[in-house]
Amino acid sequence: AQRVTQPEKLLSVFKGAPVELKCNYSYSGSPELFWYVQYSRQRLQLLLRHISRESIKGFTADLNKGETSFHLKKPFAQEEDSAMYYCALYGKGGGSYIPTFGRGTSLIVHP
């Protein structure tokens, strides 16, 4: 069974502070992990994928297989980063294409 845990329901920081949104996963195979973001009144959309190893809007995420984690980080938070963030895992065992989403973390960046 695959599982994604986002332990923080709410994360509140001030502008310019570092941000880390935690994501831990459970999966027996080799996972593919993603972060999705939902800004107020906008669609849920992909933020970044672990295999791309890219930085999007200043966010990065490293897959740590030893700790089974995929935490999302940004060194200096901006007010426009305020949104709901979802960690997602895609396990393709047995031809399944069912993603598992975490419960989400609401990030609020205060001015």
Partner 1 sequence: EADIYQTPRYLVIGTGKKITLECSQTMGHDKMYWYQQDPGMELHLIHYSYGVNSTEKGDLSSESTVSRIRTEHFPLTLESARPSHTSQYLCASYLSSTDTQYFGPGTRLTVL
Residues that bind partner 1 (CB under 8 A): 32, 34, 36, 43-46, 49, 84, 86, 88, 90, 97-99, 101-104, 106
Least CB distance to partner 1 at residue 83 (A): 10
By C-beta, is 71 or 104 nearer to partner 1?
104
Nearer to partner 1, 76 or 103 (CB): 103
Shortest Å, Cβ 90 to partner 1: 5
Of residues 65 and 103, the one with the C-beta less far from partner 1: 103
The residues, ordered by sequence, that sit 6+ positions from 21 with a Cβ below 8 Å of its Cβ are: 6, 8, 11, 35, 71, 72, 73, 85, 87, 105, 107
Asked if 85 and 73 touch (Cβ cutoff 8 Å), the reply is no
How many Å is the maximal CA-CA distance in the chain? 47
Q: Which is nearer to partner 1, 16 or 62 (CB)?
A: 62
Smallest separation (angstroms) from partner 1 to the CB of 17:
22
User: Tokens representing 107?
Assistant: 């990030």
Nearest residue to 23 (alpha-carbon basis) of 40, 42, 36, 38: 36
How near is the Cβ of 75 to partner 1 at its closest, in Å?
Answer: 26
